[in-house]
Amino acid sequence: MTELTWSRREDLSIDQYVALRTAAARLTDEFSGIYGPETIERILHSSYDQFATGSTVPNFLPLLAERFARQRLNALARVEGHHDDGKPVALFLCVHNAGRSQMALGFFQQLAGDNAVAWSGGSEPGIEVNPSAIAAMAERGIDISAEFPRPWTDEIVRAADVVVTMGCGDACPIFPGTRYENWDLDDPDGLDVAAVRPIRDEIERRVRLLLDELAVPVSRG
């Protein structure tokens, strides 16, 4: 099994350490021939650290780190030309990655299916996805309850064909040559489901328009 290069730390329980070693082994197998163990361990390590400071569920941290590391490795492979499936990539960014960007991600993934790739992130990621956003999306048959707020990283932004920003202002990353759109939408933070519905519906309208602009066929919805 792949050994993680960082030493045992006081903030890692034995179970967490074993889970991270197992995650490293899985990612090494998945990205065999593209990235070596050192690169994978570095990204997994930094992914863990990005969640460790704010998480209230420490036992869930290794899984969060593995999922985020997998996304970052896929993005890096696109940036470096190791992976090119021809599918457009959209990135949705807001402040907390807990409401607007998560709803946009949910609509994009449902409507695009396997025809495109979508990610989301936040400039100041929250602890959990807004419960009202989860409930509002569930009314449309879209389950975003398993999603989690995550930050953006350089490779994720650089891999995107279009970056949609929603209220993160100057904190949103800017890379030359990348297409940017700013969606001026109310923040659903603190709102009940009834107040979130109009925001949800406007996000769906804009996602459908974006898919049309990207020439991505809508598979469902």
Please give the positions annotated as active site. 94, 168, 172
CA–CA gap between residue 80 and residue 137 (Å, rounded): 35
| Pairing assessment for the beta strands 89-94 and 162-166 based on DSSP bridges | parallel
With H, G, I as helix, E, B as strand and everything else as coil, classify residue 120: strand
Contact present, 91 and 101 (Cβ < 8 Å): no
Contacts of 64 (CB under 8 A, 6+ apart): 47, 51, 55, 148, 150
User: For residue 1, with 0-12 CB atoms within 10 Å meaning exposed, 13-18 middle and 19 or more buried, which class applies?
Assistant: exposed
Enclosing H/E stretch for 209:
helix 193-213
For residues 181 and 73, what is the distance between their CA atoms, to the nearest angstrom?
25
Q: Is 181 helix (H, G, I), strand (E, B) or coil?
A: strand
What is residue 103's DSSP assignment? H
Choose among 98, 132, 104, 53: nearest CA to 211: 104
Q: Is residue 150 a contact partner of residue 68, using CB atoms and an 8 Å limit? A: yes
